[in-house]
């Protein structure tokens, strides 16, 4: 028991692994030890990823048809004012961060809000009892909750679970003691992961929530186009696709993470496109908002 506890307390990142990654041929991304995770133990890293980000879904599968799609497209260029990088902190809330984050994006992109409004991840974490709060969640369950129940704004119920990793009780009032106003809801959600071109075409309608299997080497990512090279599966992680492009002949997706703007490429990363890398293109939801 003591040996197990000691092993768990060991620093996660290995300089031997880092040097090995740096010397691999044909690398399309730059490995390093991210500032976000410096000093993290093995136990700390295990608390970052959900074991439940993906599931066999029952949502409607929609194939979006590609008609004169541009070679590259990104909401970071088209409507940067509609996007925001959030930080999940010590709560395993990527499932809610990605669902509510895409909802916030798309209300701005689809013209429901004049400017980007940040909606409440905390409300979904605390009130969606089918999912597991700071212990993880499922993609379809969280968008289903937002369709049925909706969420208030972050101004009403702000994000608190990132400070201590605790889920917290479902609030009955806003942070200032006022009544929670009518919730904002998803009109519909569709699984658009029906091939590379379907995702590309759907992206022109709004940002898309997806999830993927995280391998050990992803924890060394700092920039570039990620491809899995080394290590075992650490868990599942939910993120938001915001665009696509190509660099030096390598096609990629532009993706927003929920680890703060200091991680990766200003809070974003790129992953190789069209190969279902790490099951990245297996299940993803485009939301249409009310």
Catalytic residues: 94, 237, 257
| Number of residues in the chain | 290
Please report where in the chains the tokens 């984050």 appear, as a residue: 101
Q: Residue 119's closest CA among 132, 105, 133, 129?
A: 105
Token pair in block for residue 147 = 């369709």
Rounded-to-integer distance, Cα 40 and Cα 288, Å: 38
Question: Residue 246's beta-bridge partner residues?
Answer: 251
Half-sphere exposure of 165 (CA within 13 A, CB side): 10
Rounded-to-integer distance, Cα 199 and Cα 194, Å: 7
Token pair in block for residue 189 = 């959600």
Please give the helix or strand (H or E) that residue 59 lies within, else none: none
């Amino acid at each position: 028991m003591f040996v197990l506890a000691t092993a768990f307390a060991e620093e996660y990142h290995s300089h031997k692994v880092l040097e090995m990654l740096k010397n691999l041929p044909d690398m399309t991304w730059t490995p390093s030890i991210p500032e976000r995770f410096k000093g993290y133990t093995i136990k700390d890293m295990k608390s970052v990823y959900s074991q439940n980000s993906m599931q066999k879904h029952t949502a409607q599968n929609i194939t979006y048809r590609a008609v004169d799609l541009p070679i590259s497209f990104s909401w970071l260029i088209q409507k940067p004012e509609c996007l925001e990088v959030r930080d999940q902190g010590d709560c395993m809330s990527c499932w809610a961060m990605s669902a509510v984050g895409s909802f916030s994006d798309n209300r701005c992109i689809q013209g429901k809000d004049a400017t980007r409004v940040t909606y409440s991840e905390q409300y979904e974490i605390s009130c969606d009892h089918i999912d597991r709060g700071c212990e993880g969640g499922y993609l379809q369950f969280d968008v289903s909750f937002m369709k049925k129940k909706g969420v208030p704004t972050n101004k009403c119920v702000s994000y608190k679970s990132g400070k201590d990793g605790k889920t917290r009780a479902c609030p009955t009032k806003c942070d200032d003691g006022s009544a929670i106003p009518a919730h904002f809801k998803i009109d519909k959600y569709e699984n658009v992961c029906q091939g590379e071109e379907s995702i590309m075409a759907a992206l022109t309608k709004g940002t898309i929530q997806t999830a993927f299997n995280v391998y050990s080497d992803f924890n060394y990512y700092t920039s570039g186009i990620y491809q899995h090279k080394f290590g075992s599966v650490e868990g599942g992680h939910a993120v938001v696709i915001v665009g696509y492009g190509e660099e030096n002949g390598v096609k990629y997706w532009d993706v927003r993470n929920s680890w703060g703007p200091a991680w990766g490429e200003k809070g974003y990363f790129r992953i190789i496109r069209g190969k279902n890398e790490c099951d990245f293109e297996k299940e993803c939801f485009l939301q249409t908002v009310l």
